[in-house]
Amino acid sequence: MNKLGCHVSMSAPDYLLGSLAMAQSQDANCFMIYTGSPQSIARQPIDKLKVKELHEALKQNHIPIEDVIVHAPYIINCANSEAKKRNFAKVFLAQEVDRVNKIGAKYLVLHPGSNPDKELGCKYIAEAINYVNKNNNHVVICLETMAGKGNEIGSKFEELKSIIKQVENKNLVGVCLDTCHISDSGYDIKDPSATLKVFDDIIGLKYLKVLHINDSLNEKGAHKDRHANIGEGKIGLKTLKEWVNYPMVSKICKILETPWTVDGPIYKKEIHMLLGK
Ligand code: FE
Ligand code: FE
Ligand code: ZN
């Protein structure tokens, strides 16, 4: 079955069970959560999140726990040039990986970070991952491809490759490819096979673990990172449909992070559009 889902909330009182219910209400067969607010580092204790109940419910619904993706908060910058802030990010990332381990999930999506010196930034990010992996042998940190706003690292496949090269345990690092971000960063994504060939040549397809399927408000190369609803942006339904239905990525979780309307998310409609139903 083609894995296609969406970002869902995780909040009181049902936490992870509520996330699964929300995903199912949108006809998603995989989903992505933040363990708390993406813009904050405040986190609920893990024993409140209904982990056991989630596992039981997933089993009943034949959804593997690997199809529950976690996204780290945006505000941590493992590439920060200030040592104190960089260390803070590293320690927080280790705690986040510990939470993901306790949830039992496998993939943690991470915005690599920013630094005006890209090479140094890549080194710092790899250092943070190596530090985290001293106490981790399960969670795969998936570096997200970025739009290239400001000093963001990860808008070029070469930068992600540089980080991966410096990570000691290659089994615990991967990539999350975001269609909006790579279009914004300047890649031509009209033909998934051509884009994935470039990805394969530079990074290696075996590192591709998650896809984010978003339309973009802006033209290719705009470096803006403004997501649009499917078919309402500059990428368009035709291209996004080709990505979602590209056989090579059918077993990789594809997650929508498209804007919500005043009435809430429209993932269900978008999922059906993308699958051609
Ligand atoms: Fe992201
Ligand atoms: Fe994304
Ligand atoms: Zn984005």
Q: Which residues contact residue 69 at a Cβ distance below 8 angstroms, ignoring those fewer than 6 apart?
A: 30, 31, 32, 33, 105, 107, 108, 109, 210, 253, 255
What's the 223 CA to ligand 3 centre distance in angstroms? Answer: 10
Range 4-275: architecture per CATH: Alpha-Beta Barrel (3.20)
Alpha-carbon span 56 to 51, nearest angstrom: 9
CB atoms within 10 A of CB 118: 19
Query: What is the β-pairing status of strands 227-228 and 215-216?
Result: antiparallel
Rounded distance between C-alpha atoms, residue 97 and residue 241, angstroms: 32
Distance CA 183, CA 52 (A): 39
Cα 178 to averaged position of ligand 2 atoms, centre (Å):
5
Nearest listed ligand to the Cα of residue 148: 3
**pLDDT tens series, the chain, 277 aa:** 999 999 999 999 999 999 999 999 999 999 999 999 988 888 999 999 999 999 999 999 999 999 999 999 998 999 999 999 999 999 999 999 999 999 999 999 999 999 999 999 999 999 999 999 999 999 999 999 999 999 999 999 999 999 999 999 999 999 999 999 999 999 999 999 999 999 999 999 999 999 999 999 999 999 999 999 999 999 999 999 999 999 999 999 999 999 999 999 999 999 999 999 6
Q: Residues with beta carbon < 5 A to ion ligand 3?
A: 225
pTM (2 d.p.): 0.98
